[in-house]
Structure 1
Amino acid sequence: MSVQDWLTAIPFLLRGLGVTLYVSLAGTLVGCAIGLLIAVTRWTGLPLLVVLAKVYVSFFRGVPLLVQMLLFYNFLPFVGIDLSAPASAIGALGLVGGAYIAEILRGSLAAIPSGQIEAARAFGYDPVTIWQTILLPQMVRIAMPSITSEFILLVKASSLISVVGLTELTRVAQGFAASTFRPMEFYLAAAALYLVTNLAVAAGGRAIERKFSRGVA
């Protein structure tokens, strides 16, 4: 391929990468909010809420993301909810990410010594204060490595969002591979961009972990 061909393709590849990062980050943030809600719901111990939380986690962990995305995109209009393609992609990624993050937070919560909660209750702390001052900070610190890994997984899983009409990185590479009959070059370029992005995310996650560790020390 000529230099001119690459100069033409690179802006489109970077734009596709931008879509990938935007949807993945937004999906991760939605997933964190859902995961925290599920973790709190299960912590309450109320039987109905616990059962509903378990059903949610089981469904979104047990059904392939592609099927979930197609269901999410095609089902909502039937109930009068018409979302844009980006909102549909973010919602689908957020729902599946929330199921995994809920389990991550549940494990992190279980790692906190129960004696801390009992001591806080003995001092008269209400449940909201216990969550804000004791449980949540420790839970986030413990869960951060796994949440970083989940974000990386969602970046890779975002290659499926083209099924709802978004032109993300993989879709851009497919388009250029088909139009130029040079699949190897463009798929390698996409792979390199994914790799660099995820290495940067992993490095950022380790930096945040070190900051949390210094704060604890």
Structure 2
Amino acid sequence: MNLQELLHAAAPVMLQGALYTLLFAVAAMLGGLAIGFPVAVMRMLPYAVLRWPSALYVSAMRGTPLLVQIFVIYYGLPSIGIEFEPVTAGVLALSLNAGAYLSETLRGAISSIALGQWRAAYSLGLNYWQTLGYVVLPQALRVAVPSMSNTLISLIKDTSLVSVITVTELMLATKEVIAATFQPLPLYCAAALVYWALSLLFEALQGYAERRLRH
């Protein structure tokens, strides 16, 4: 089987795996944002009972390998009666990991807004949450977009790790084709190109979002 025939035969399986990779990354990004935003806010509130647990979560997620976190959720939790399907475990692990990084991105973006913006909003009668939602967050979003986009691009690559718990994303799909064809080099190179293409797609979307937010 020559290279063209090999890639033609592998394309349907690998493209389906790429679709799952994309869905995983987007789902994990949304989950990460749902986790990261409240964690960022808790770390900024003057209540130690909220600050310390959220700081511990961020430190633990950023200080341990994602692969270990996947193993803990999928293989470790069943020992205490908590069991997830592979897809659910993969999305949960990626979301918890991304949430820690996104919380710091959002916290930094919110902190970058001048204190005068808060005071001006308070002088107009807005409370803390109204000021955060209507005044601070719209400005912070522009600051946070590049880092958030970088997190999404990292998630595209990190999804390859969920192949270890039998989730058929791009990497596992590639391995299955290799097992049938015994042609690892061209197929791994093809997978790398697909990851690169997905990353370039989101880099283009990042550039578009930044241009829109400038106006």
Task: Check whether TM > 0.5.
Answer: yes
C-alpha distance in structure 2 between counterparts of 1:88 and 1:73, whole Å: 6
Letter in 1 for 2:185: M
Alignment partner of 1:110 is 2:101: no
Letter in 1 for 2:99: G
Q: Deviations over 1:181-216 (max 9, x none)?
A: 2111101100110111100110011101111111xx
Partner residue of 2:91? 90
Letter in 2 for 1:104: T
Partner residue of 1:166? 167
Partner residue of 2:214? 213
Gaps of at least 5 residues in structure 2 are: none
Equivalences for residues 132-143 of structure 1 within 5 A: 132-143=133-144
SS at match of 2:83: coil
After TM superposition, the structure 1 stretch with the greater mean CA deviation from structure 2, 145-154 or 77-86, is 77-86
Alignment partner of 1:69 is 2:70: yes
Alignment partner of 1:184 is 2:171: no
Equivalences for residues 38-77 of structure 1 within 5 A: 38-77=39-78
- 1:28 deviation in Å? 0.8
Letter in 2 for 1:83: F
Alignment partner of 1:17 is 2:18: yes
After TM superposition, the structure 1 stretch with the greater mean CA deviation from structure 2, 61-70 or 117-126, is 117-126
Alignment partner of 1:193 is 2:199: no
C-alpha distance in structure 1 between counterparts of 2:207 and 2:148, whole Å: 11
TM-score w.r.t. structure 2 length? 0.94
Do the aligned partners of 2:34 and 2:99 also contact (CA within 8 Å) in 1?
A: yes
Letter in 1 for 2:71: L
Q: Deviations over 1:75-128 (max 9, x none)?
A: 333444332211111110000000000111111111100111012112221122
Q: CA RMSD in A?
A: 1.4
TM-score w.r.t. structure 1 length? 0.94
Do the aligned partners of 2:7 and 2:187 also contact (CA within 8 Å) in 1?
A: no
- 1:176 deviation in Å? 2.0
Gaps of at least 5 residues in structure 1 are: none
Letter in 2 for 1:169: L
List structure 1 runs of 4+ shifted beyond 4 angstroms.
Answer: none
Letter in 2 for 1:127: Y
C-alpha distance in structure 2 between counterparts of 1:192 and 1:123, whole Å: 53
Percent sequence identity over aligned pairs: 36
